[in-house]
Amino acid sequence: MITVNRDKCARCGGCVSVCPVSALTLTEHGIECDKKCINCSTCVKFCPVHALSLKKDEK
């Protein structure tokens, strides 16, 4: 699961485009991550402002 630092996020929508399973959505509140996330970290590496991080301890 991805967590989003909403203070950093520029809402560019780029992470939404790079996610291979469409787990990210840009809403009025910012980026939301849903349970389709496969923890591939593509979006974490992509984000130009490092607003995304991967939580590995769930499930």
- Contact residues: ligand SF4, CB under 6 A: 2, 4, 9-15, 19, 21, 23-24, 31, 33, 37-43, 46-47, 49, 51-52
| Residue of 39, 28, 29, 30 lying closest to 2 (CA atoms) | 39
Closer to ligand SF4 by CB, 41 or 59: give it. 41
Say which residues have a Cβ less than 8 Å from residue 58's Cβ, sequence separation at least 6: 1
Q: How far is the CB of 28 from ligand SF4 (least distance, A)?
A: 13
**Smallest gap from residue 59 Cβ to ligand SF4 (A):** 13
Half-sphere exposure of 12 (CA within 13 A, CB side): 15
